[in-house]
Structure 1
Amino acid sequence: MRNWWYKNAIFYSLDVETFMDSDGDGIGDFQGLTSRLDYLSALGITCLWLLPFYPSPNRDNGYDVMDYYNIDPRLGTLGDFVEFMHQAGERGIRVMIDLVVNHTSNLHPWFQAARSDKNSKYHDYYVWVENPPQTQPEQINFPGEQESIWEYDEKAGAYYLHHFYKEQPDLNIANPEVQEEIRKIMGFWLQLGVSGFRIDAAPFLINPVGIPESPNLESFLREMREFLISRRGDAVLLAEANVPPEKIPVYFGNGDRCQILFNFLLNQHIFLALARQDSQALREGLKILPDIPQIGQWLNFVRHHDELTLDGLSKSEQEEIFQAFAPEKNMQIFGHGVRRRLPPMLAGDRRRIELTYSLLFSLPGTPLLRYGEEIGMGDDLSLPGRDSVRTVMQWSDAHNGGFSTASPDALAQPVIKEGEYGYKRVNVATQQRDRDSLINWMERVIGIRKQCPQFGWGKWQILETDSECVFAHCCDWEGKAALAVHNLSDKPCIARLQVQDYKYLFDLFSDSQYEPLDGDGDLSSIPLEAYGYRWLQVNRKG
């Protein structure tokens, strides 16, 4: 078997500063994260994706980088990072990190040199113009928080390009010296043991907008991949590319660019299907995905550290999701996003929460969990912007949810104190003592998912049913097949599959104890509870 380890991995995303504080200063750190590796291993996690941990003024959650070759001193030292990498490896956990090279902080020494001296080589690390073109509405990433992609710098006497906040000047990726610097950054962290990189804002990395006379920057993805595998043959590139279906092949190439892409398109269609309690949107979401190279993989997710973006849907479809899951204006962001975690979106309905994660773990691709999803953490809508879904991890019902011994006002991000999702009610320690808790359900589903490589490796097909509320699909791999059936509605039903190719063997996983199917492997009639789900081991007939 090829060493495409990511095909059957369980990804887990976290921000070091909000995960575990080891020294009581209110900020999570690498020593704290290292102390929780046994927890992550027991949960079944096989790959961690770490959000930026570089030195930063933190005007954009660490995505405004000041030094690509170091650790934010609040989070520890390079020595702490190396020890963390060693301990993760001892537990069979790989580590991927964010590669944030579309832009830097405006406090980065490169930018400070660039604005101070036009003859400095660093001046050409950025994109400058004296008379900027008019910014078009579609170029604005943060409507309401951003008016232009050009900002005047008095010291330089020119405007610089920034596709994101004005404190984040874009790097000139067309400059060969910048490309060489990116390779050095990759080489540095690969030497310290990481298994790959999440390319932040990948479309802007290769988008020539604003860069005069730029070459074809799409080829740089291939050059990054070539460098990656020359240093570590099993390392991967994961692209954050929320783009239309016709642009997705740019990122996979012929299997010679990125190996993994976030499945933004399917994610949006999942929520549309949940809002409608109808499988049609989910079926459409799968059907519009282009064919990808065999080496390629989708990374499926429910929620992550940013908003739930709905920009791939029509305005009316966005409104359906808003009405169902984010009806108040302060639950929405940027005009097409939802700034909530899943449990409050689903009104805490355990049946719907399980159904959604059952879909996540069985849909074709690799699943990603965001820290706290395993215990059903909520959000804090009193916090600004995306911070609503970035509160600290809730470990116990102790002070600050067991995250830190510091005073609450010293925390990197607040802890949720009150209400249904406060740390007194929702935390790891309490749930680990409860056999029926969400965290124990998560451990089970992860364990079963690892035993079903068909979902990650297999060839998939949607199965026809006679119920609009039922979504059924099957994945075949190396002579074995797994079939999953989900009832998206609030009423029990009988799923009648219009399939002749498979015969039933036994149930793998389900929302309740169902009777084995009757008949000689017959799949034509499958009972499901309201919001019910069943994973079945099946065989091809003959």
Structure 2
Amino acid sequence: MIEDLWYKNSVVYSLDLDTFMDANGDGVGDLPGLINRLDYLNSLGIDVIWLAPFQPSPNRDNGYDISDYYGVDHRYGSSGDFVEFMNHARKRGMRVILDLVVNHTSNEHPWFKAARSDPDSQYRDWYIWSKKRPAGWNKGMVFPGVQKAVWTRDPVAKLYYHHRFYEFQPDLNMDNPHVRAEIRRIIGYWLQLGVDGFRVDAVPFILESRLKGEKLRFDYLAEIRQFLQWRAGDAALLGEANVTPEETQRYFGDGRDGLNMMFNFWVNQHFFFALATGDTAPLEQALKDTAKIPEATQWAVFLRNHDELDIERLPKTKRDKVFARFGPEPNMQLYHRGIRRRLASMLGDRRHIELANSLMFALPGSPVLRYGDEIGMGDDLARKERAAVRTPMQWSSERNAGFSTAQRLANGVISKGPYAYQTVNVDAQRRDPGSLLNWMIKMIRVRKECPEIGWGEWTLLRTGAKGVLGMCYSWRGNRIVVLHNFNRQPQQVKVALDGEGSERLVNLLEVDDSLATRQGHHEIALTAFGYKWFRVGGLNYALRRQPPGPPTGH
């Protein structure tokens, strides 16, 4: 049954252990600290926890430089703590997905140490080497402006090794079947400990091949998917692949041999253009461009994540407008393509923040929240690169934001300015009925009561007003209408609907229903940056819901 696919309609919460909650007072967040905050995530309405890398690492790139795939870094606890965390999450009905970082390892991984020191080592061919510096040694860098090369000479091996990311992250050789077998072992290990899937880091780079033929080997992705399904039938792969709509089909495959989910970077970038300018036409086109995906797959929709806001795929004229609105100062920009700021500090206006989050929950796919965005946390631009948006969670107005009792933190909290922990924190907002946190809890509840968004078909609605995005979802005999006004001025919109119950729209957020005029359309007023969610025909949708039909294909 297609409705058994949990990832089609889940609310995902992204967090880093080291900045979420410190239980032992050493200044670093840990697994016991996360366990202590699971009730908070449960009360928020979270279905899935996505954990950033926590395996042993020199931690030169926020844990994305792994030196042992089969353990837990001592800073975060033990493997026993991880199993205990999984048990507590499971008891609360929450699923867990982990980062799968296998494009590269740390240069301190035993595999690389063996590979560089011994030409006859079995691990020499696990990495990519060259006797001479290749012609494109300074092309195709992931971090332009910071990263200097993609080929670096190793003084021990006396060879050049390839690294798409930083020089301390040598790329694994995916063309080597032993490497791919080891990746399957890594997946199998964590599945055995109960995880529900993986957020696959840097998917296009994983598939890069140096063999003759295609540059991207999607059969490598199919191997991973088939192994995952064999070991755990309901596990899922959420892929990070910032690619064009034309390329997405190959990553999804036929729904059975590719990614289960992908982040919708294409829509995300056009979403921020709409937020910056009030022009929703490019966003509407981006939604159309990404509408057709296999039935058993799903988009992951998001506003911000642990990286910079990447707007590289916008045309330069549009990109410049987003930079001008949300990252006008050079220290707000990163890698010539992105903005290293949190959502709240970019938008500023509470109405604008609500509009953005409301639409994220209303877009086709499963929403992914970044920790702290539910309370409107800010950023610290004094920190290097992406560390600006990776500050500790602000739990209370107590010392260290209630994150830790340590005298000194590994990552300092935001203590000055409008986003300081003394004013922006969970405890204060939990007790304020009008807070962003309580608004977010309400929106998550409403989203979970609208399965039409995750499961149904959607169409764009004509609203008769520029800058107002209207969508209608339909699923099993029920319909949802969502309207979002990107203008700084109030708008009056006209919406025409056909079918049973179309004469009545019941507002899901407040007592403000709409009855159709004699001409058969709805006239609806939206405030500046306003939004409305309606159920078509009334609230007896559970009585009207039709039984599921047969699947329409893969």
Q: Displacement, 1:498?
A: 4.7
Partner of 2:361: 361
> Which is worse superposed, 493-502 or 49-58?
493-502
Q: Displacement, 1:496?
A: 1.3
Q: CA RMSD in A?
A: 1.7
Partner of 2:401: 401
**Preserved CA contact (<8 Å) 2:153 2:161:** yes
Q: Displacement, 1:493?
A: 1.1
Aligned counterparts, 1:72-471, within 5 A? 72-135=73-136, 139-208=140-209, 211-213=210-212, 217-256=217-256, 257-289=258-290, 291-347=292-348, 349-407=349-407, 410-471=408-469
The one-letter code matched in structure 1 to 2:89 is: A
- Can you list the C-alpha shifts for 1:138-186, whole angstroms capped at 9, x where unaligned? 6121111122210101111111010000000000011000000000000
In the aligned structure 2, how far is the partner of 1:134 from the partner of 1:212? 18
Q: Displacement, 1:43?
A: 0.3
- Can you list the C-alpha shifts for 1:307-366, whole angstroms capped at 9, x where unaligned? 00001101111110011111111111111100000111112x111100000000011110
The one-letter code matched in structure 2 to 1:241 is: A
- Can you list the C-alpha shifts for 1:429-480, whole angstroms capped at 9, x where unaligned? 0000000001100110000100101111111111122111110011111111
Q: Displacement, 1:500?
A: 3.8
Q: Displacement, 1:290?
A: 5.4
Q: Which runs of 5+ in 1 are unaligned?
A: none
The one-letter code matched in structure 1 to 2:508 is: F
Partner of 2:492: 494
Cα 1:519/1:175, change in 2 over 3 Å:
same
In the aligned structure 2, how far is the partner of 1:135 from the partner of 1:327? 32
In the aligned structure 2, how far is the partner of 1:168 from the partner of 1:475? 44
The one-letter code matched in structure 1 to 2:248 is: I
- Can you list the C-alpha shifts for 1:258-292, whole angstroms capped at 9, x where unaligned? 10000100000001011111221210211221511
TM-score (norm 2): 0.94
In the aligned structure 2, how far is the partner of 1:314 from the partner of 1:7? 31
SS, match of residue 81 in structure 2 = helix
In the aligned structure 2, how far is the partner of 1:20 from the partner of 1:504? 50
In the aligned structure 2, how far is the partner of 1:94 from the partner of 1:366? 14
In the aligned structure 2, how far is the partner of 1:424 from the partner of 1:522? 52
In the aligned structure 2, how far is the partner of 1:351 from the partner of 1:179? 48
Cα 1:534/1:384, change in 2 over 3 Å:
same
**Preserved CA contact (<8 Å) 1:246 1:290:** no
**Preserved CA contact (<8 Å) 2:304 2:370:** yes
**Preserved CA contact (<8 Å) 1:504 1:521:** no
Q: Displacement, 1:132?
A: 3.1
In the aligned structure 1, how far is the partner of 2:46 from the partner of 2:325? 31
Cα 1:93/1:523, change in 2 over 3 Å:
farther
- Can you list the C-alpha shifts for 1:343-401, whole angstroms capped at 9, x where unaligned? 11112x11110000000001111000000011000001111100000000000000000
Q: Displacement, 1:509?
A: 3.2
The one-letter code matched in structure 2 to 1:538 is: V
Cα 1:132/1:85, change in 2 over 3 Å:
same
Q: Displacement, 1:490?
A: 1.0
In the aligned structure 2, how far is the partner of 1:354 from the partner of 1:522? 30
SS, match of residue 146 in structure 1 = coil
The one-letter code matched in structure 2 to 1:395 is: W
**Preserved CA contact (<8 Å) 1:505 1:536:** no
Q: Displacement, 1:189?
A: 0.1
Q: Displacement, 1:525?
A: 1.4
> Which is worse superposed, 137-146 or 58-67?
137-146
SS, match of residue 471 in structure 2 = strand
SS, match of residue 445 in structure 1 = helix
Structure 1 runs of 4+ with >6 Å offset: none
1:534 equivalent in alignment to 2:532: yes
**Preserved CA contact (<8 Å) 1:248 1:290:** no
In the aligned structure 1, how far is the partner of 2:376 from the partner of 2:508? 20
In the aligned structure 2, how far is the partner of 1:269 from the partner of 1:418? 32
In the aligned structure 2, how far is the partner of 1:328 from the partner of 1:424? 26
**Preserved CA contact (<8 Å) 1:504 1:537:** no
**Preserved CA contact (<8 Å) 1:104 1:171:** yes
SS, match of residue 95 in structure 1 = strand
Percent identity of equivalent pairs: 50
Q: Displacement, 1:504?
A: 4.7
